[in-house]
Amino acid sequence: MACLYGLTHLLLLHLTLFPPTHALSPANSLIFALKTQATPHGLLPRASPTDKLPFYHNVTLTISLAVGSPPQRVTMVLDTGSELSWLHCKRSPDLNSVFDPASSRTYSPVPCSSLTCLTRTRDLPVPASCDPNKLCHTAISYADASSIEGNLASETISVGSSSRAGFLFGCMDSGQSSNKEEDSKTTGLMGMNRGSLSFVTQMGFSKFSYCISGFDSSGILLFGEGRDASFTWLKTLNYTPLVEMSIPLPYFDRGAYTVQLEGIKVSDKLLALPKSVFVPDHTGAGQTMIDSGTQFTFLLGPVYAALKNEFTRQTEGVLRALEDPNFVFEGAMDTCFLIDPNQRGLPGLPRVSLIFRGAEMSVSDERLLYRVPSATRGSDMVYCFTFGNSDLLGLEAFVIGHHHQQNKWMEFDLVKSRVGLADVRCDIASQWLGITS
C-alpha cells in the first residue's frame, strides 16, 4: 500500500455529510463547497439540509459524516491510495474521536465463516483471518510502518442525499501509529481507490472530482457525473488512461489510480532520461500513483536525482542551498534552501512539468518550495523542494501527492478508466457552479 498515512502532512478538508433525502442514484451529482481556514479541532460545520455543504481544509484531508442508526458523526481521512475504509471503535486516552458500534442498531460484525470474509477480502494487502470470537479479522499496514487492526463489519453510511445500507468497513480496536496527534483528531480513514471494498465502489459512484484551492478559501468536491450545463468548461480537461495490470504482481497496487509518467521538464528542458525508467518492471515496481493521502510527490532515485540536479542548476544564483548533508525533511526531501524572512515572496523559479500519457501537470511558484516548520539557520528560514526521493522511504513507486494538485480540477472516471486534469482557479470554478463559501 503506497499511501503515506501518518508520514506526511495531508490537506485538511472538513466536509460535513448528512442523512439522505432519497435513495442512492449514481447518476446524481453531489457538489460540496470548500473553504480554507485553520479550523480548531471540534469546530466543524453545522448540519444543513442541502447537498451544497461547506468543505474546509488546513492540514489533513478529512471528511466529517454520519454513520450508523441513529447517526454518529465521524471524521475520516479521504485517501485515494487506500481501499478498505475503517473507524476507530475502541476508546482510549489517546483518541478523542471514535465510533461506538454498541450505540447503533444497524451495526453488524461479519463472521469469519461468511462468503464476504472469505472472498471479498482476498485482494487486500493482508487477507482477512478468523479471530478468537470467530469474527472476520482484518489488518492494514502503511508505508510509514503504522498499522491498524480489528473486525470487518457492515453499517449504514450516508453521503448527502445518497445512502448505502450494509457498507463494509473495518471496526478497528488496536494499532500502532507514527502520528498519535493526528489519530486523536480523526475517527478513521475513507478508502477511495478502485478496489471492490472502497468507498466510491460501494457507494456506486462512477466518477468523482475535486479541486483544491491554492489561492483563497474556496474549492469543490463532486461525487457523480456533473452533467449540468454549468460544467461545460470541463471540456478543457486532458485525460490520461489508467494503467491496467491483469495479473497480480508483488509490487503493483492494482487498486491504485495508476497513470503512465513519461517524462519531466524543468522550464522547457526535458530531463535526459530513458522512458524505460518510468515503466513498471516485471515485479510491478515503478508504477505512478495519484494519491490524495500523501502531501508531496515522490520519485524513484534515478529520476529524483536528475530532477534535483537540473532544478539546482537552473536556480543557481537565485536560491541559496542549505549546506547540511544531515538535514532531510519528511525522511525523503534533501534538496533544501535558505530564504531571508525579510524578502518579499519567493524568487522566480523554473516550472516543473510532469508529462503523462495524454496530459501534463505543471508545478510552479510557491508549490515548488515548502517552508519547514520551526526550521531556521540563523535568521534564515528553511524551505525544501516539494519533490522527494522514494528510495529513501523504501517505496518502489512514483507517488503524486495533493500538494501538486492544487488549483487543478482532478477527475477520477472509474467507468472509462482514466484521470482528467486541467488548470483551474478553484475559487472561480466555485462561482461558476454557483457555490458560495
User: What's the residue count for the chain?
Assistant: 437
Q: Are 386 and 340 in contact (CB under 8 A)?
A: no
Exposed, middle or buried by CB within 10 Å (0-12, 13-18, 19+), for 279? middle
417: its cell numbers: 478508466
Catalytic residue (one of 51, 183, 291, 413): 291
**Cα separation of 260 and 26, whole Å?**
28
Kindly list the distances between the CA atom of residue 201 and the CA atoms of 45, 164, 192, in Å, as whole numbers in the listed order.
27, 11, 8
**Cα separation of 160 and 284, whole Å?**
38
Q: Are 222 and 55 in contact (CB under 8 A)?
A: no
Do β-strands 188-191 and 72-79 pair in parallel, antiparallel, or remain unpaired? parallel
3 state DSSP class of 195: coil
| Residue that has been written with the C-alpha cell 495519484 in this structure | 290
Catalytic residue (one of 51, 79, 144, 253): 79
Do β-strands 369-377 and 380-385 pair in parallel, antiparallel, or remain unpaired? antiparallel
- Cα dihedral angle (190, 261, 141, 411), rounded to 10 degrees? 0
Instruction: Kindly give, in sequence order, each residue whose CB lies less than 8 Å from that of residue 404, ignoring residues fewer than 6 positions away.
Output: 296, 297, 354, 361, 363, 367, 386
**Cα separation of 93 and 153, whole Å?**
24
| Residue that has been written with the C-alpha cell 466510491 in this structure | 200
Residue 307 has what DSSP assignment?
Answer: H
Tell me if residue 427 is catalytic.
no
Q: Are 314 and 266 in contact (CB under 8 A)?
A: yes
Kindly list the distances between the CA atom of residue 8 and the CA atoms of 243, 285, 359, 393, in Å, as whole numbers in the listed order.
26, 22, 26, 11
Tell me if residue 291 is catalytic.
yes
Question: Catalytic residue numbers?
Answer: 79, 291
